[in-house]
Structure 1
Amino acid sequence: MSSSRRPDIRGRRARSLAAGGLMLAVVAELSSAGLLGLSGWFISSCAVAGAATFSSFSYIAPSGGVRAFAMARVAGNYSKRLVLHAAALRRIAAARAGLFDRAAATERAQEDGLWSGELLDRSMADADSAGMALIECTTPVAVTAALTVGAVLAIAASTSIGPAVVLAAGVVVMAVIAHRTPGTAREAEQHTRKELRAELVTAVDAWTEIASLGAAEQLAARTTARFTRLDTAREGAGRRRHRAALTTGLIGTATVTATAATGSAPDAPAFVFVALLSLGVLAQAEQLANAAEARAAAKAAHRRLMASGPHSPSAPTAAEMRSWSTEQGIGFADYLLPPMALRPGRVLGATVARGAMLVVTGRSGSGKSTLLRALGSSLRHATEGRDGRPAVAAVAADDHLFAGTLGSNWRLADAALTDDEIDERLAELRLNDSGLTATTSVGPAGRQLSGGELRRVYLGRALARNPHVLIVDEPTTGLDDRTARHVLGILANLPDTTVVIALHDVPVCLESAGHVTRLPLDHTSQEAP
């Protein structure tokens, strides 16, 4: 079976599962309403028959109907939960898979840092909201519609058309009110809460920097203002929900009364049957307000998911740079410096032998980082890794560490690394001098490490990949001269890896190295041949 047909088959299965769950939900609610109405009629009929002197009322058939409705209700509720949650999880999984497919397809955007952790977290939450809309929105609407139709038909058949019409009109009015109730109240409240939570986490994480800036009072005032906005949003949402619930409750009460009063049958069992059946339908219709909020949240989440994704910057794309990678080394040509560079419009090119180093140097704003990102993206498209090794590994200037230990972060590059092997590599980078081991906790985003330690940890993680091409932006940032020379010496002696680094200034230890190819980018330089 071709891979292109598998998503279609999975999509059909997911839709079939959702349809089956909706049918089971309808069956369960119809059984609940039927149980309520039939039980009321049965009890009333028994009471009336017991009060009569001579009565031929038979309780066998109605009691069997009550038991049947009760069993159908239990089985339907259990089955619908299983099926609907399975269908919702499939929708969530599909939405998340689509999100990561788009992220993987926009490789340039990942390298430029536009797929941030915050964007992915928000998109994952949106995927959950879109998937859960099946349970929170679609199911209540479908069940209310089916229950209303069934109750209207049952009331019309057992009494007259009058009470059936009144019940249908009451449900329509409640649906209109629910639809017109602001559905974004919960979303606004959640957005305000998320902003407050993010600020509190940032404040705790960066308290030392905040205190040194003397910004504690300003931050406290801003946080207090956010708390006030959150309380205001909660109160406003609560008032709107209360008004909607009160209105629908009054309409429901009036509808039940009018429905029972317009019945043509004067006997008490019919009156009780119509009243209880109408009450069950209207109780279900009250859930339409929550369904409207869930629908608004799901629509907003869907719009963000479709629109989420980074917009490509004006930097060169992989298609605008010719690059190649062979057993002998790498090369690129026709690279046009972008508009944000100091010398835009210049065309550059270079070749680097296997095991050699290309040094990209120049002052800030000359385009060094942009060139490195474009080269990494282009080489990934130009070649695949050979001998099981990745084609390219890159260390950006603002790389990221996940909360956990050094070992857990480095095993993202090589899952087979042991603690002893990690400790040996830490010693090679002289990180053991700071007491760092594989079990050292790095804290949120690596904030427990210094800037120089972070650069070496990033570099060591990339070296663990053993790539054919290693691209490093500013490898000596935060390092003293002795440690910087040691790190550059490691990079200059990788016999099977071609290294491309960006530096503001080329140190003497690289100036005299015969295997270094300089590609100057500042205003005093010439293009590389």
Structure 2
Amino acid sequence: MSSSRSPNARGRRASSLAAGGLALAVVAELSSAGLLGLSGWFISACAVAGAATFSSFSYIAPSGGVRAFAMARVAGNYSKRLVLHAAALRRIATARAGLFDRAAAGDRAQVDGLWSGELLDRSMADADSDGMALIECTTPVAVTAALTVGAVLAVAVSTSVVPAAVLLAGVVVMAVIAHRTPGTAREAEQHTRKALRAELVTAVDAWTELASLGAAERLAARTTTRFTRLDTAREAAGRHRHRTTLAIGLIGTATLTATVAVGSAPDAPTFVFVALLALGVLSQAEQLATAAEARAIVKAAHRRLTANLPRPASDPASPAMRSWSTEQGIGFADFPLPPMALRPGRVLGVTVARGAVLVVTGRSGSGKSTLLRALASSLRQATDGRESRPAVVAVAADDHLFTGTLGSNWRLADAALTDDEIDERLAELRLSDSGLTARTPVGPGGRQLSGGELRRVYLGRALARHPHVLIVDEPTTGLDDRTARHVLGILANLPDTTVVLALHDVPACLESAGHMTRLPLDHTSQEAP
């Protein structure tokens, strides 16, 4: 399938499936209501005919109708489940694809700092809720509306307009009560459960550190408080749901009683038919409360999905810069240091030859990390990304390892890496001295590795991509002097890769490199050439 027609084709296919599923749902519920009413009428008519001395009642046609309704109900229910779930899955896929399309089309500096695991998890859950709205919200409303119209017409024809009007009024009142009852209590319960789950996962991962801090008791008390909040939220949601269900149930009972009382049925079978038909409609109308509750959650999810992507508070806007990348090297100009830097407003620019090293130096808070993030984002935007070899690979100070093995993490950079190749590269980074291999488990977030081992694992994974430009923030963090010199020697001898490093000071092993350019950011350093 061509890419030009895939988004529109997916949307049309999902809409067609949704319309077909709704039609099947209506057929299934109409068949259920018809089966209920006709069965009651048929049984009553048979009883009346059996009590009469002489009767010409024929059971052939009504029994055929009962069988027809029963078969239509079974086939309709089975078909609607297949079609509605297929449509819902397509809507979920479309919502997820749209979410990532909007992210890819947005500002790269914003997107780079946006996708935390928590936000991604919430976005995926919102996409699921948005897709399931077809089953949880739209279908109950459409079925109730169709069933009400059909039942009102049937009651009016069988008896009179008055009981039909009473039935219609009762369903409308039930719908109004359900509509005016938002799902805020259920949403609050879900939010509290999510916060508790996140804290428990974090506490399990960091239990050793928490115990060493003597914070276990305080954490247990805080977790107990969160459990209490969850119980309170559940109770509030349960009371809220119970009140709504009770109100709708009372209205339904009153409507059923009034419909039967004001009806002028010509005979007993017709009376039973009207009563059972009204009961079926009112039972379906009770589902509107659940649909309204789900609708409030779906609206909130849809609002978050369609809103502009938020910028996290911890990731301030990166200053704009003009950058370029050619076969001869990279460069940037007109970069103003941000307000949080030690020298805010200072405009920077530099050119670095291919295979050379640019070292950005300065004290903590001087703006080194901000400059590296802005450069990585700007260079990515300046390239078209059509090459298999990436233009820019950045290793942040707080990079991430996924739970698994070293090999599984490095294969995210190069899926073709074998265990032997990974072991060779681990040896080059002197990680094999610590007994690390491709099959070594790293634990959640790399917690089984030391800080120095983590930095070298991040670097090794980045080097596995063979990028044109490698940007590394604090490559020697957690390393002893000997290992730090070895790692910097590797980074300084990548003839086909331009390397940008952020360091507090330039070590002697880089000072002697003839292809190193220094860019100081603080007051005490000399100005850049």
Classify the TM-score, shorter chain: over 0.9
After TM superposition, give the deviation of residue 250 of structure 1 in Å.
Answer: 2.1
Change (3 A) 1:315 1:278: closer
Determine whether 1:252 maps to 2:252: yes
Query: Counterparts of 1:483 and 1:58 in 2: how far apart (Å)?
Result: 98
Asked if the contact 1:88–1:134 (Cα under 8 Å) also holds between the matched residues in 2, the reply is yes
Query: Counterparts of 2:52 and 2:408 in 1: how far apart (Å)?
Result: 81
Change (3 A) 1:268 1:472: same
Alignment-derived partner of residue 187 in structure 1: 187
Query: Counterparts of 1:527 and 1:292 in 2: how far apart (Å)?
Result: 65
Query: Counterparts of 1:141 and 1:234 in 2: how far apart (Å)?
Result: 26
Asked if the contact 1:413–1:462 (Cα under 8 Å) also holds between the matched residues in 2, the reply is yes
Alignment-derived partner of residue 110 in structure 2: 109
Q: Across the two proteins, how many residue pairs are aligned to each other?
A: 526
Determine whether 1:68 maps to 2:72: no
Change (3 A) 1:509 1:143: same
Alignment-derived partner of residue 124 in structure 2: 124
Query: Counterparts of 1:526 and 1:339 in 2: how far apart (Å)?
Result: 21
1:365-380 to structure 2, matched below 5 A, reads 365-380=365-380
Determine whether 1:164 maps to 2:164: yes
Change (3 A) 1:301 1:56: same
Deviation digits for residues 135-159 of structure 1 (CA, Å, limit 9, x no counterpart):
0011001100110000000110111
Query: Counterparts of 1:483 and 1:236 in 2: how far apart (Å)?
Result: 58
TM-score by length of 2: 0.96
After TM superposition, give the deviation of residue 110 of structure 1 in Å.
Answer: 3.4
Q: What letter corresponds to residue 412 of structure 1 in structure 2?
A: L
Structure 1 outlier segments of 4+, above 6 Å: none
Alignment-derived partner of residue 498 in structure 2: 498
After TM superposition, give the deviation of residue 104 of structure 1 in Å.
Answer: 2.2
Alignment-derived partner of residue 205 in structure 2: 205
Alignment-derived partner of residue 344 in structure 1: 344
Asked if the contact 2:10–2:94 (Cα under 8 Å) also holds between the matched residues in 1, the reply is no
1:328-367 to structure 2, matched below 5 A, reads 328-367=328-367
Deviation digits for residues 29-59 of structure 1 (CA, Å, limit 9, x no counterpart):
0011001100110111111111111111111
Alignment-derived partner of residue 214 in structure 1: 214
Query: Counterparts of 1:186 and 1:167 in 2: how far apart (Å)?
Result: 30
1:220-369 to structure 2, matched below 5 A, reads 220-307=220-307, 309-311=309-311, 315-317=317-319, 320-369=320-369
Asked if the contact 1:315–1:370 (Cα under 8 Å) also holds between the matched residues in 2, the reply is no
Alignment-derived partner of residue 84 in structure 1: 84
Query: Counterparts of 1:307 and 1:96 in 2: how far apart (Å)?
Result: 14
After TM superposition, give the deviation of residue 352 of structure 1 in Å.
Answer: 1.3
Change (3 A) 1:79 1:372: same
Q: What letter corresponds to residue 380 of structure 2 in structure 1?
A: R
Query: Counterparts of 1:388 and 1:188 in 2: how far apart (Å)?
Result: 46
Asked if the contact 1:314–1:338 (Cα under 8 Å) also holds between the matched residues in 2, the reply is no
After TM superposition, give the deviation of residue 4 of structure 1 in Å.
Answer: 5.1
Percent identity of equivalent pairs? 87
- Unaligned runs of 5+ residues in structure 2 are none
Asked if the contact 1:103–1:115 (Cα under 8 Å) also holds between the matched residues in 2, the reply is no
Q: What letter corresponds to residue 469 of structure 1 in structure 2?
A: V
Asked if the contact 1:316–1:336 (Cα under 8 Å) also holds between the matched residues in 2, the reply is no
TM-score by length of 1: 0.96
Change (3 A) 1:61 1:527: farther
SS at match of 2:325: strand
Change (3 A) 1:385 1:51: closer
Q: What letter corresponds to residue 83 of structure 1 in structure 2?
A: V
After TM superposition, give the deviation of residue 182 of structure 1 in Å.
Answer: 3.7
Query: Counterparts of 2:386 and 2:248 in 1: how far apart (Å)?
Result: 67
Change (3 A) 1:385 1:65: closer
After TM superposition, give the deviation of residue 333 of structure 1 in Å.
Answer: 1.6
After TM superposition, give the deviation of residue 461 of structure 1 in Å.
Answer: 0.7
Query: Counterparts of 1:334 and 1:424 in 2: how far apart (Å)?
Result: 42
Alignment-derived partner of residue 410 in structure 1: 410
Determine whether 1:461 maps to 2:461: yes
After TM superposition, give the deviation of residue 493 of structure 1 in Å.
Answer: 0.9
After TM superposition, give the deviation of residue 307 of structure 1 in Å.
Answer: 3.0
Query: Counterparts of 2:390 and 2:237 in 1: how far apart (Å)?
Result: 52
Q: Which stretch of the first structure deviates more once superposed, 325-334 or 137-146? A: 325-334
Query: Counterparts of 2:408 and 2:103 in 1: how far apart (Å)?
Result: 23
Alignment-derived partner of residue 470 in structure 2: 470
Q: CA RMSD in A?
A: 1.7
